[in-house]
Amino acid sequence: MALTIDGSNITFDGRITVVNGFNPDTGVAYLVLTPEGGFGELPFFSAGTPGLPPEFTEIKMTPVDPDDPLPTPNPVVTVVDPGGPGLPSKFKLEFFVHKGLKGDTGSLVIANAEDLAASPALGAGTDKYTLVYRASDGMWVPTAQKVGNMYVSSDIAATGFNSTSVRALSSISIAAQPFDWYPEVYAQTQVTGSADTRVDLVARLNDAASGAMVGFSKGLVGTTPPPNVVIPAFSVSSALPKVLAGNAATIYLRAEQQAATSNSWSTPASPATTFCVKVSPLL
């Protein structure tokens, strides 16, 4: 028999062939043992150590126009390092993929958006509105821009030099606004008085005599007191007079003599007397 086993020893009689023994390009050679008088190969004596897996130093995706053919082979494999004993081989991969077909030009209409609130409805009533996000339901709500204009009085006439205690100087009417607001009033005049006159300037909302005070200037006694300059002022600080959305308003400016006894006094015409109201939106 060409092959005998004696304990841990193997005795072989036959021919040994070294395959690729002189071919350095393959990187591997193996033995073929043919028993004497027959044909065959010995099985491997033991499994070898698993080699290291290859490493990919770069994987690249390259788009190709839909009408252009993809290259062959695909992907393209580039050897970076062939590796060696105990060292992994390294490669680059480049995949070529077709781009998607060009779609039709789209159109965006905000009025058709799914997250646009249905109320208030878009139209003439919401002209110049802006969109405000509502966190409770994730909707965008058409909302009036909270920006107020300044309204200025028309020409203001002078008042006569007499002892009339209360005098209407001017009024400003403001159309309904799409938001709540309060009037921010500014005015001034120069009173010509007598020794016992003291004249205040008062602005009131919607009623010249009993409306909520929205502007005030306290006068001084005398024939030539300093100018009265009205600034925003309110009767009760915790209850700010306001105009609700959708309501028009009128602001009245009056000169009111406050001394216990009155003598003659007067106020000049514009531009020596001025009066304006700013619409201040409430948040």
Residue 252, both tokens = 């009245």
Q: Quick one: pLDDT at residue 242?
A: 93
Number of Cβ atoms within 10 Å of the Cβ of 172:
19
Q: Residue 193's closest CA among 223, 221, 166, 165?
A: 223
- pLDDT tens-digit map of 251-265: 999 999 998 887 999
Residue 45 clears pLDDT 70, i.e. is over it? no
Q: Span 148-171, mean pLDDT?
A: 97
Query: 12 exposed, middle or buried (CB, 10 Å; 0-12, 13-18, 19+)?
Result: middle
Q: What is the pLDDT of residues 8-27, one digit of tens each?
A: 787 777 777 777 766 766 66
Whether the per-residue pLDDT at 157 is higher than 90: the answer is: yes
Domain coordinates of the chain in residue numbers?
10-41, 113-143, 150-281
Question: pLDDT band at residue 36, thresholds of 50, 70 and 90?
Answer: confident
Confidence of residue 1 (pLDDT cuts 50, 70, 90): low
> According to the model, what pLDDT value does residue 186 have?
98
Which tokens sit at 211?
A: 């409306």
What is the arithmetic mean of pLDDT over 181-191? 97
Nearest Cα residue to 215 out of 246, 170, 177, 264: 170
Say which CATH topology domain 150-281 has. Jelly Rolls (2.60.120)
pLDDT at 29 over 80: no
Q: How confident is the model at residue 7 (pLDDT cuts 50, 70, 90)?
A: confident
Residue appearing with tokens 């105990």: 86
pLDDT(75) > 90: yes
Range from 38-42, 53-57, 101-105 carrying the lowest mean pLDDT:
38-42
| Average pLDDT rounded to a whole number, residues 273-278 | 98
pLDDT band at residue 41 using 50, 70 and 90 as cut-offs: low
* pLDDT at residue 21, as a whole number: 65
152: Cβ contacts below 8 Å, ≥ 6 apart: 172, 275, 276
* CA separation for the pair 282, 240 (Å, rounded): 10
What is the mean predicted confidence (pLDDT) over 131-143?
96
